[in-house]
């Protein structure tokens, strides 16, 4: 228990829930790390696809970034409307399922879940990948490092919402602050130099153009850049994590995140063009990230460069945290509707939905281990989920406003409608441009997950129909069960078991399996040991049935006997009373047979509604 307390803090009571809420200052690190971290790889991803265009490609980064920024703004406005409309958490799942039907909701949920799992695995592995390329000595430890980061993020998140916000505050604001300084300084230098500043450390020279810009290439670059938008959904899903006024706090948080992201994306795009910075081939030996070139060009490779790049690396690694904040909430919403196991809806000891965290960690760890900590091949698999969810959520909001009606609703419907169309288009672009590279896997996974959740739901529904009742207790025909007591020989254990049996019911059958291995006087002693005392006390004398077992099996014949008794007493309950020896030390259990446990398991497996099992433990050496 002490190690639990040390790692995760003391348990939090329900009434402490209020104190676990956060405001915008804590909300930005919790829900924004994923989106903000995208600034580090979104432009890079787009520029990488532009490498074949040579120096000419760099010019495309500004319009590309601009379209992504517009998209971001639209999505932001849409979500700003979703938050007050669904103040208890309006993620894509909730919005889509309430407005478009459970099918759309499940589709959004499955898409997002897969995306979040991938975010964790790919995010951590990207961060560690950057660290390892800076410090090649660590190359042998990629997987352990990935798993260590995963463990740290997990522990922090299991400590609860407030602790998470506090821990991630520093790296987030360090990242935003230092990048803002680099961008501000760069833009000031650009303006001062009339658009063509001298880099302090020269960026890599671009390769000569290998091809001309085509629409397909630009679309692919755009859809790669769009990975910058994953994680935007998180705030609207986590409204309940904010302190009052929670709608307003959530909205402020969302606006702050998006605003910072837009500034960073725009600044990076502008500086890339003015300093003529392009991506370098990640497979080549001279690889240097765009942000590294940019920072070096603006401030030189001095201490501030290292602070900036260090913070970038930290945020890259920790952006997995957004998934930790949102995945469990999403699972909870789905579980409350009966599409996932109920356990996802339970709050853990620190008031977070621990089961969702466990599943997320397990899946991410599995992916990391399977891919040895290098997950480049998985990058084409994500972003689709996020865009699919965006689209469904916007479309859901359109339906929502349509139902509500009125002047304000019409205006909101327009915004969400625009969002739906734009994100739907983007989804198609992303899906088509990445389909062959792996997006098809995502499609299959989403379909499988939807199917799974539907099956879970059907299972719960059938079970509920079976067990739901509002009837009061039917009290007629109460009749004690027929108690069957199996035992080997006459000991204090069996003596006590017989006493218990007689105290529960007048009808008791003792059964002994004779496997012919040892002499046993049970049958001949029975009248003296049990029948006479019972008769003298005026009770019905318990019978002893001896079952012959020429093949020395004990459990099998016993089970047959019990099922026979059940057939015999068709309208009675059968209680199987199993005397069992409990040892205080686990290793002593090797000294005894585990027949009671085995019989219990088999009875549960083969029995039916009329058999109950009574375990009468005897504690060895307890007196």
Chain residues 413-472 in contact with its own copies, contact rule CB under 8 A: 456, 459-460, 462-463, 466-472
User: Could you please report the per-residue DSSP string of 161-199?
Assistant: HHHHHHHHHHHHHHHHHHHHHHHHHHHHHHHHTTT-PPP
Q: Minimum Å distance from CB 157 to its own copies?
A: 17
Contact positions with its own copies (CB under 8 A) in 368-387: none
Nearest alpha carbon to residue 385 among 441, 316, 340: 441
Residue pointed to by tokens 């079970």? 463
Figure out which of the listed residues 495, 555, 560, 569 binds its own copies, where binding follows CB under 8 A. Answer: 495
Q: Are strands 574-582 and 543-548 parallel, antiparallel or unpaired?
A: unpaired
Q: Minimum Å distance from CB 154 to its own copies?
A: 20
Phi, psi of 279, deg, nearest 5: -75, 155
User: Which lies closer to its own copies via its Cβ, residue 102 or residue 505?
Assistant: 505
CA distance 504 to 75: 67
Q: Minimum Å distance from CB 11 to its own copies?
A: 5
Judge whether 541 and 531 are in contact, CB under 8 Å.
yes
Q: Minimum Å distance from CB 325 to its own copies?
A: 20
Residue 91 DSSP label = -
User: Which lies closer to its own copies via its Cβ, residue 341 or residue 438?
Assistant: 341
Q: Minimum Å distance from CB 277 to its own copies?
A: 51
Residue 270, exposed/middle/buried by CB under 10 A (0-12, 13-18, 19+)? middle
Q: Are strands 611-619 and 508-514 parallel, antiparallel or unpaired?
A: unpaired
User: Which lies closer to its own copies via its Cβ, residue 408 or residue 592?
Assistant: 592
User: Which lies closer to its own copies via its Cβ, residue 184 or residue 617?
Assistant: 617
Contact positions with its own copies (CB under 8 A) in 216-235: none
CA distance 601 to 598: 5
570 sits near its own copies (criterion: CB under 8 A): no
341 sits near its own copies (criterion: CB under 8 A): yes
Phi, psi of 512, deg, nearest 5: -125, 130
Figure out which of the listed residues 286, 407, 571, 608 binds its own copies, where binding follows CB under 8 A. Answer: 608
Cα 310 to chain centroid, rounded: 28
Q: Minimum Å distance from CB 150 to its own copies?
A: 23
Report helix, strand or coil for 581.
strand
User: Which lies closer to its own copies via its Cβ, residue 306 or residue 553?
Assistant: 553
Figure out which of the listed residues 141, 173, 435, 490 binds its own copies, where binding follows CB under 8 A. Answer: 490
403 sits near its own copies (criterion: CB under 8 A): no
Write the CA distances from 387 to 136, 219, 226, integer angstroms.
36, 15, 9
1 sits near its own copies (criterion: CB under 8 A): no
Figure out which of the listed residues 347, 421, 545, 546 binds its own copies, where binding follows CB under 8 A. Answer: 347
Q: Minimum Å distance from CB 249 to its own copies?
A: 24
550 sits near its own copies (criterion: CB under 8 A): yes
Judge whether 549 and 586 are in contact, CB under 8 Å.
no
Q: Minimum Å distance from CB 504 to its own copies?
A: 5
Residue 610, exposed/middle/buried by CB under 10 A (0-12, 13-18, 19+)? middle
502 sits near its own copies (criterion: CB under 8 A): yes
Q: Which stretch binds its own copies (CB under 8 A): 210-218, 280-288, 433-441, 580-588?
A: 580-588
Q: Minimum Å distance from CB 509 to its own copies?
A: 15
Q: Applying CB under 8 A, what is the total number of residues that bind its own copies?
A: 90
616 sits near its own copies (criterion: CB under 8 A): yes
Residue 22 DSSP label = B
Q: Which residues pair with 242 in a beta bridge?
A: 22
CA distance 431 to 443: 9
Q: Which stretch binds its own copies (CB under 8 A): 209-217, 296-304, 370-378, 587-595?
A: 587-595
Q: Which residues pair with 486 in a beta bridge?
A: 511
Q: Minimum Å distance from CB 346 to its own copies?
A: 6
User: Which lies closer to its own copies via its Cβ, residue 134 or residue 612?
Assistant: 612
Judge whether 47 and 289 are in contact, CB under 8 Å.
no
Residue 540 DSSP label = P
User: Which lies closer to its own copies via its Cβ, residue 151 or residue 366?
Assistant: 366
Figure out which of the listed residues 211, 491, 564, 568 binds its own copies, where binding follows CB under 8 A. Answer: 491
Contact positions with its own copies (CB under 8 A) in 588-607: 588, 590-593, 600, 604-605, 607
Angle, vertex CA 108, rays to CA 337 and CA 237, nearest 5: 70
Figure out which of the listed residues 516, 523, 540, 543 binds its own copies, where binding follows CB under 8 A. Answer: 516
């Amino acid at each position: 228990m002490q190690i639990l307390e040390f790692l995760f803090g003391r348990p939090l009571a329900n009434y402490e829930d209020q104190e676990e809420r956060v405001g915008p200052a804590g909300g930005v690190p919790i829900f924004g790390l994923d989106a903000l971290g995208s600034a580090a790889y979104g432009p890079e991803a787009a520029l990488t696809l532009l490498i074949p265009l040579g120096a000419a490609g760099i010019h495309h980064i500004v319009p590309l970034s601009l379209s992504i920024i517009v998209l971001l703004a639209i999505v932001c406005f849409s979500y700003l409307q979703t938050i007050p409309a669904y103040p208890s958490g309006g993620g894509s799942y909730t919005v889509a399922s309430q407005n478009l039907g459970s099918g759309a909701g499940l589709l959004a949920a499955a898409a997002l879940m897969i995306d979040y799992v991938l975010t964790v695995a790919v995010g951590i592995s990207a961060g560690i990948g950057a660290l390892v390329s800076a410090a090649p000595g660590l190359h042998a430890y990629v997987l352990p490092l990935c798993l260590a980061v995963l463990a740290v993020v997990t522990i922090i998140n299991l400590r609860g919402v407030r602790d998470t916000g506090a821990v991630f505050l520093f790296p987030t604001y360090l990242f935003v602050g230092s990048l803002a300084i680099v961008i501000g300084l760069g833009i000031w230098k650009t303006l001062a130099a009339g658009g063509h500043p001298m880099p302090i450390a020269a960026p890599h020279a671009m390769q000569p153009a290998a091809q001309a810009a085509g629409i397909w290439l630009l679309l692919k670059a755009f859809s790669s850049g769009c990975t910058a938008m994953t994680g935007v959904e998180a705030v609207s899903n986590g409204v309940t994590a904010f302190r009052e006024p929670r709608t307003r706090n959530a909205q402020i948080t969302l606006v702050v995140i998006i605003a910072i992201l837009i500034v960073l994306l725009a600044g990076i795009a502008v500086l890339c063009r003015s300093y003529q910075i392009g991506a370098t081939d990640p497979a080549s030996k001279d690889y240097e990230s765009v942000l590294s070139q940019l920072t070096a060009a603006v401030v030189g490779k001095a201490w501030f460069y290292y602070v900036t790049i260090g913070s970038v690396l930290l945020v890259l690694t920790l952006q997995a945290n957004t998934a930790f904040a949102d995945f469990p909430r999403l699972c909870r919403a789905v579980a409350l509707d009966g599409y996932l196991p109920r356990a996802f809806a339970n709050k853990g000891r620190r008031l977070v939905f621990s089961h969702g965290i466990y599943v997320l960690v397990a899946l991410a760890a599995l992916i990391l281990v399977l891919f040895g900590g290098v997950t480049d091949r998985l990058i084409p698999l994500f972003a689709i989920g996020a865009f699919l969810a965006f689209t469904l959520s916007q479309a859901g909001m359109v339906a929502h406003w349509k139902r509500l009606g009125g002047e304000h609703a019409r205006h909101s419907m327009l915004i969400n409608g625009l969002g739906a169309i734009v994100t739907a288009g983007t989804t198609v672009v992303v899906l088509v441009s990445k389909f062959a590279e792996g997006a098809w896997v995502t499609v299959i996974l989403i379909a499988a997950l939807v199917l799974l959740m539907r099956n879970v739901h059907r299972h719960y529904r059938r079970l509920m129909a079976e067990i739901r009742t509002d009837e009061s207790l039917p009290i007629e025909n109460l009749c004690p069960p027929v108690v069957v007591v199996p035992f080997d020989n006459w000991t204090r254990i069996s003596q006590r078991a017989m006493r218990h049996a007689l105290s529960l019911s007048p009808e008791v059958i003792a059964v002994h399996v004779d496997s012919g291995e040892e002499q046993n006087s049970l049958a001949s002693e029975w009248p003296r040991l049990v029948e006479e005392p019972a008769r003298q006390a005026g009770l019905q004398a318990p019978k002893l049935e001896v079952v012959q077992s020429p093949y020395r099996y004990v459990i099998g014949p016993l089970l047959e006997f019990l099922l026979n008794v059940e057939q015999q007493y068709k309208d009675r309950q059968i209680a199987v009373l199993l005397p069992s020896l409990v040892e205080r030390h686990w290793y002593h259990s090797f000294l005894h047979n585990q027949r009671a446990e085995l019989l219990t398991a088999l009875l549960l497996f083969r029995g039916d509604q009329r058999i109950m099992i009574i375990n009468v433990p005897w504690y060895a050496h307890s007196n």
